[in-house]
Chain A
Amino acid sequence: MRIDWAALGVVAVVSIMSSVIFTILLATGIRLVSIAKIKSNEGGSGTAIVSAGYVLLGIAGLLVLYGLYLIVPQFH
């Protein structure tokens, strides 16, 4: 049997891409929510920014749910 280099490559690319995407979503979401908090503390309105932040965090949450779907064999 030879080594499955193709599978290895796919695993490497998918792992790196998905960790980077998850972290970007999480970090950007955190940053936006924080900006909005600071704005509202200063008396301004940060509704648009805060909702954008929560949308990003929500997408990150969906990624977690997708991971859960992959783990639980009963789902597929």
Chain B
Amino acid sequence: MTELFVVITVIAVALIFDFTNGFHDSANAMAGPVATGAFKPRTAVILGACLNLVGACLSTEVAKTISGGFFDDQLITVPIILAGLLGAIIWNLMTWLFGLPSSSSHALFGGLIGAVIVGAGIASVHGWVIVSKVLLPAIVAPLVAGIAAAWATRLAYRITRKTPSAHSNTGFKHGQAFTASMVALAHGTSDGQKTMGVITLVLIAAGLQESGTGPQLWVIIAAGIAIGLGTYSGGWRIMRTMGRGIVEIETPQGAASGAATSATILASAHLGFGLSTTHVSTGSILGSGVGRGAEVRWRVASRMAFAWLLTLPGAGLVGGLTALLADQGVFGVIALMVLLAVACLVIYMLSRRHKITHANVTDSHEVLVFTAATPTTYPNDPRLDPAKPKKAKKPKAKSAA
């Protein structure tokens, strides 16, 4: 009975993680098209959600292990999985609050590593794997995607220099729509698998499923729906940072960065050097800005790099702390659920102080949390973006336009 309760809780938490994964990564595919107007914000997230769902259902092979080589598989227990997931969820929500794109996989690994350290000591973690699978890719991904996007952007502008922008913009927007859809589909297949793998592992560990079998149909569908709903909810704070915060994205530039993102993601997935989707797409946007010779906000970029560095230890810290409670049986698990609910509520309340929705996502380049404009004047405060005239309309009316 106790075990069943824990299993159900862990499955629910895994689906919540899947949801945060979706809204955290919505921007990877859709920030560019939303910024250039290739897709309207609502269309972008609906399309992204559908492709995520389709992608999740397409994936046949699910990762047999979630340890990622960071520690021995034997160390993985249900409480450790629970603690790891909680660490990842809290980290995802915190970075979302500040509008910072960060890798959901790194957050999950961080949470698990923190939980393993608390359970089995720091010696059980393989340090070199952290260097080769986390630190190095986090440097390589934006570099490769950035160079690709910078060159592609330069070429796109050079080739269409004499083309009337009315003609070129339509063409580039179509190209961008295709590349963004590919990124969303690829994201569904790779990240949907992650949650399915976690749930299947938990079911096997609890003796509810035979070991060596694949995920059950309801697991596939539930994971697909959770990540799709997450994508649909949009993660507008991160979308604003990626679509406008790093650099202003023009249409040819958006098409070039979309091409670089999808090419790099596909190459890394099929040629054996795994890179995080988040790092790739931020790198492309950054590189495309450099390629166009636009003013890149390096302050935002460095804050993002800082968040990437903190993802593993940050999620690890939360994972480690929750691991202390996760081992305490039913009451520990109930206490953790209460704490999770409180944390979600606090972060949600903080996010409401400067709310960002599909209606105002491209109105400004800043994601405010504690500072600056008072909530009553936001988001139409002219101080935030002098280029935009003051709009008196309600957000409702704006979305219809």
Bound: A46/B316 CA distance, A: 62
Q: Decide: A4 and B273 in contact? CB cutoff 8 A.
A: yes
**Does residue B145 face the partner (Cβ distance < 8 Å to A)?**
yes
Which of A34, A67, A71, A73 has the largest count of B CB atoms less than 10 A from its CB?
A: A71
Residue of A with least CB distance to B137: A8
Residue B247 CB within 8 A of the other chain: no
The answer to whether B275 and A11 touch across the interface, beta carbons within 8 angstroms, is yes
In chain A between 31 and 68, which residues have their CB closer than 8 angstroms to a CB of chain B? 31, 33-35, 37-38, 57, 60-61, 64, 67-68
Interface contact A70-B266, CB-CB below 8 Å: yes
- Of B252-260, B325-333, B366-374, B383-391, which binds chain A? B252-260
Known: A70-B266, A73-B61. A26 touches B132 (CB 8 A): no
A19 to B288, CA, bound (A): 12
- Most chain A Cβ neighbours within 10 Å, of B145, B149, B151, B271: B271
Q: Could you tell me which residues of chain A, from 1 to 19, have a CB within 8 Å of some CB in chain B?
A: 1-4, 7-8, 10-12, 14-16, 18-19
In this complex, how many residues of chain A approach chain B with their Cβ under 8 Å: the count is 40
Contact of B59 among A2, A11, A30, A73 (CB under 8 A): A73
How distant is the Cα of A39 from the Cα of B67 in the complex, in angstroms?
61
The main secondary structure of chain A at its interface with chain B is: helix
Q: A34-B164, A67-B182, A74-B58 are in contact. Are A26 and B140 (CB under 8 A)?
A: no
**A30:B263 contact, CB within 8 angstroms:** no
Chain B residues positioned under 8 Å from A68 (CB to CB): 182, 185
The residue from A3, A31, A61, A71 contacting B159, defined by CB atoms under 8 A apart: A31
A34 to B19, CA, bound (A): 43
Which residue on B lies nearest to A12, using beta carbons?
A: B144
Q: Which residues of B contact A3 (CB under 8 A)?
A: 131-132, 136
Q: B273 to A18, Cβ gap below 8 A? A: no
Task: From the candidates B60, B162, B271, name the one contacting A11 in the complex (CB within 8 A).
Answer: B271
With a CB–CB cut-off of 8 A, which chain A residues contact B338?
Answer: none
Q: Does B209 contact A (CB under 8 A)?
A: no
Closest to A3 in B: B132
Q: What is the bound-complex CA distance between A53 and B163, given in angstroms? A: 13
Q: Is B186 among interface residues, defined by CB-CB distance under 8 A?
A: yes
Stretch at the interface among B78-86, B171-179, B217-225, B306-314: B171-179
Tell me whether B4 is interfacial, beta carbon within 8 Å. no
* Candidates A7, A26, A38, A61; contact of B271 at CB < 8 Å: A7
| Apart from A11-B273, A34-B171: 16 A-B pairs, beta carbons within 8 A | A3-B136, A10-B267, A12-B140, A12-B147, A14-B271, A15-B263, A15-B267, A19-B264, A20-B151, A23-B256, A26-B171, A26-B172, A27-B172, A30-B168, A30-B172, A71-B182
A-B contact pairs, 10 of them (CB 8 A): A10-B273, A11-B144, A11-B271, A16-B144, A19-B260, A26-B175, A57-B171, A64-B179, A71-B185, A71-B189
